[in-house]
Amino acid sequence: MCPLSRVSDGGARVVFVGDEHGRMRQEVDAAVAARVALARAQAELIRHHARVAELAYAQTAQIVSRSSRERDMPMRSVAAELGAAAHQHDMTVQKELSDAYDLVHRFAATVNALAHGTISMRHVSVIRDAGHRLPDEVRGAWESVVLDYAATTTPGRTKAYAGQLAEKLDPTGMTERFDTANGDREVSVEDLADGMALLQMLLPATLAHGAKDRLRRMATQTKNAANDHARNGGVEDARTVRQIEADIAADLLLTATPTIDPTTDRSPGGLGAIRAVVQIVVPVTTLTDTTDAGAMLNGHTPIDPATARKLAGDAPGWDRIMCHPVTGTVLATDRYTPTTEQVRFLRARDQHCRMPGCRQPAVRCHIDHNHEHQHGGRTHIGNLSHLCIRHHTLKTETEWTVTQRADGILEFTSPLGRTHREPPPPRVMFVPDTDPPPF
């Protein structure tokens, strides 16, 4: 029997009939169990690889020659052995052996969490990438805190949180690390198939995100103007917004101005008047130069303190945010006007779309009434949250429901009856003192 659609609240909503609800839930439960089993198998493979690497390193230690080539032979040999059995290149296997050894000896708790199925391999990768730079004396405590968070959310959100916490504990200041990394900025081209190529720019995060946002706004105005032109009898522009972004970027780089600008007569200044809009959270201790802590761009990308202070000096307005001193949860803002205050509070609290797993920045999301307004839902902080267009539509057009608790935790209930709790995003607090972190 197939799912049926019925008209409800003015729109079509997918519902299950007959025994399909039970069958769908059974398959979802089986898929979840399979993911846990896969995580356990991956943890077992990591441990096997680590033991193989350990044996190879022991053989290397017995070689008296100082030749790096000779000393590399035990690892090369066993990598070739595994590669032949797994139909993989031995260099790929050699890296897997080295990574496994590193994980088992420096991130043992992460491997244990993978073995228990509480995190996935993608979680493991982001935790290792974020924590590899930390000294041994703080990495274990950092790992414990990050794992508690990772068990409740996606790899993408874990990456952002782990990176923020690592920033606080890294003994090398953000300014020094940014200066080093900024020295590697470059433009490169990678040739692809079908006559295409990938143009890449390695830039400071503020420039990269600002450029992307400006291109998106320019492309959106171009597309809207083209649609108006077509409705008035003109030629239709079949390009997508993403394609227009790429075309405008190429035009700007090659000619210093877009060669096609249908918005010139529609907005003061045309496309050149559009400015990038980014969301940056700057600790007050960074502004006052009390600490070398960086700021956060769009809730997940670190930026250096000097750039944060420069942007702060040019900002047309400020939102002061009061946070819990330990958890970092947003408590209030100091704006008074009701509607504006609510928007500013929600943007500060939510940071991004609140659907489990989504990281679309709040500035690109809708503010949703958890309990629909047409059904009596109040326009109140306790009934509002950010959802991106995709997930706002999902909530409206399907049987997904959302309720908000007094502490800001959202409870999403799926059409199959599963409940997913989504707490407000945590913040890493940068305190200007020399006390150890509160692990």
pLDDT of residue 72: 83
Higher pLDDT, 432 or 144: 144
Q: What is the CA radius of gyration of the chain?
A: 26
Tokens describing residue 186: 């470059």
Residue 242 has pLDDT above 50, yes or no: yes
Q: Give whichever of 19-23, 245-249, 262-266 has the largest mean pLDDT.
A: 245-249
Q: Give yes or no for residue 3 having a pLDDT over 70.
A: no
Phi-psi region of 185 (alpha: psi -120 to 50; beta: other; left: phi over 0): beta
285 within 8 A of 145, measured Cβ to Cβ? no
Q: Please, which residues bridge with residue 420 across strands?
A: 412
pLDDT of res. 310: 72
The answer to whether residue 382 scores a pLDDT higher than 50 is yes
Q: pLDDT digits over 197-228, tens only?
A: 899 999 988 888 888 988 998 999 888 888 88
Tell me the backbone φ, ψ of residue 288, rounded to 5 degrees. Answer: -90, 0
For residue range 337-370, list pLDDT tens digits in order. Answer: 336 777 888 888 888 999 988 888 888 899 998 8
Q: How far apart are the C-alpha atoms of 352 and 341, rounded to whole Å?
A: 17
For 293, phi and psi rounded to 5 degrees? -70, 145
Long-range contacts, stretch 123-127, CB < 8 angstroms, 24+ apart: 123/150, 123/155, 123/158, 125/155, 126/155, 126/156, 126/158, 126/159, 126/162, 127/158, 127/162
CA dist 360 → 347, 390, 412 (Å): 12, 10, 18
Q: Which residue has the higher pLDDT, 178 or 373?
A: 178
- Asked whether the predicted pLDDT for residue 270 surpasses 50, the reply is no
Residue with the bigger pLDDT between 44 and 168: it is: 44
What digits encode the pLDDT tens for the residues 287-321? 777 777 667 665 556 777 777 777 666 666 665 55
Cα–Cα distance measured from residue 218 to residue 237, given in angstroms and rounded to the nearest whole number: 15
Q: Is the pLDDT of residue 285 over 80?
A: no
Residue 254: predicted pLDDT: 81
Spell out where 98-233 has E strands. 186-191, 197-202
Element (H, E) at 404: strand 401-404
Q: Using an 8 Å Cβ cutoff, are 405 and 411 in contact?
A: yes
120-131 mean pLDDT = 96
Which comes out higher in pLDDT, residue 118 or 430?
A: 118
Average pLDDT, the chain: 81
Amino acid 32: pLDDT = 93
Q: What is the pLDDT of residue 9?
A: 47
C-alpha span between 136 and 54 (Å, rounded): 20
Strand partners, 280: 297
CA distances from 51 to 11, 117, 380 (A): 58, 21, 57
Question: What pLDDT, on the 0 to 100 scale, is given for residue 18?
Answer: 59
